[in-house]
Copies of this chain bind each other. A is one copy, B any other.
Amino acid sequence: MRAVEYKGHRTFDVVDREVIAPRPGEVQVSVAYVGLCGTDLHVYLGDMDQRVGSDAVIGHEMSGRVAAVGEGVDAFRTGQKVTVLPTRYCGTCRACLQGHSNVCYNMDFIGLDSPGALQELWNVPADLVVPLDEAVALRDAALIEPLTVAVHDVRRGRVAPGDVVLVIGGGPIGILISLVAQAAGGDVLLSEPEAARRRAASDLGIATIDPITEDLAAIIDAKVPGGHGADVVFEVSGSAAGSETAVANTSARGRLVQVAIHAQKREVDLHRFFWRELEMYGARLYHKNDMVGAAELIRDEKIPADRLITSVAPMEDTTAAFEELHQGNAMKILIEVAGDRD
């Protein structure tokens, strides 16, 4: 079978690999599409060489069909459309014992710590496989994993109908959070300084604001006179300015969800946390149920998945696809592995 291997030096090559039969408890998935995300881009750029090693097969956003099942697996039938939760947690650490397997202290993230989806036949533990409705297009289904992140984030922020929601940062995750929060009934405003990103969000029906030239606080206050802030704020920018804006625009008892990765410490107005009883929630990865929720949003066409896909490239063009992603103008690039042959 064919697989895409990371060769270092910003290079991915298609290689031929021996097919391995699924072991007991595993499902062998015929991979249809693989989405490339920001973490994968870090692999491409060489930032994660030590973690992924040489000749690694990465990829964790995917869709496919069941090709075969290992011994003892009876919940799946061959040909069934599926996606995969790429988190193998230990089940024995304190975080897992408390039910927080998404922050397992010994997490094996599939596609980074173990082989990922950029291969024709991919063996994964059956309990991480999520069945999909046959009506869902496999192209769209490759967006379920990033959407799962957004579903988890929005649940973490407990967005309720009528809540004023501020999303800071209009990259792919910020846009997905905006869409999921809107689907949850939130009155969403996306703050993003780059005009191209604002246009893309606007085209998807998301209200946007330029935090550099517009008065964010006044616009939020106009939505809820005297509210002095949004009910829920998502910090997805990873910037010092975004962090500052987030704390400054959260209402009394409002919920600030930390989605972005901040590479350095940030100055935080803790007095405001005290004075307004603000709440801040870190949000990382997801639970299986978040993926079930994301699959339902795609199935029910609550999220315009097809409009989020910038381009689809064949396996041979993986390196070029990463370079395109690196340029920063793409929303979501998919690699077609088997595609949807049925």
Contact = CB atoms under 8 A, between A and B. Distances in A.
A171 to B, nearest CB: 15
Given A265-B268, A271-B262, A279 B281 contact: yes
A278 interface: yes
Interface residues of A, number: 44
A148 interface: no
A227 interface: yes
A37 to B, nearest CB: 16
A244 to B, nearest CB: 9
A90 to B, nearest CB: 10
24 contacts: A94-B224, A95-B252, A95-B253, A98-B253, A102-B277, A105-B228, A235-B270, A243-B270, A258-B273, A258-B274, A261-B271, A261-B274, A262-B270, A265-B268, A265-B269, A265-B270, A267-B267, A267-B268, A268-B268, A275-B282, A277-B281, A277-B282, A277-B283, A279-B281
A279 B269 CA distance: 16
Nearest to A260: B274
A226 B93 contact: yes
Interface string A80-100: 000000000000011100101
Given A94-B227, A276-B282, A267 B270 contact: no
A318 interface: no
Contacts of A269: 265
Q: Nearest 3 A-B pairs (CB), nearest first?
A: A273-B282, A95-B252, A262-B270
Given A280-B279, A282-B273, A103 B252 contact: yes
Contacts of A265: 267-270
A105 B252 contact: yes
Given A252-B95, A266-B267, A277 B100 contact: yes
A282 B282 contact: no
Contacts of A282: 272-279
A259 interface: yes
Given A276-B282, A282-B275, A94 B261 contact: no
Given A259-B274, A262-B274, A270-B265, A94 B251 contact: yes
Interface in A61-77: none
A252 B285 CA distance: 13
Interface string A145-169: 0000000000010000000000000
A135 interface: no
A23 interface: no
Contacts of A267: 265-268
A2 interface: no
B277 A226 contact: no
A7 interface: no
Nearest to A283: B277
A270 B277 contact: no
A263 interface: yes
Contacts of A10: none
Contacts of A251: 94-95
A284 interface: yes
A36 B280 CA distance: 32
A94 B274 contact: no
B283 A252 contact: no
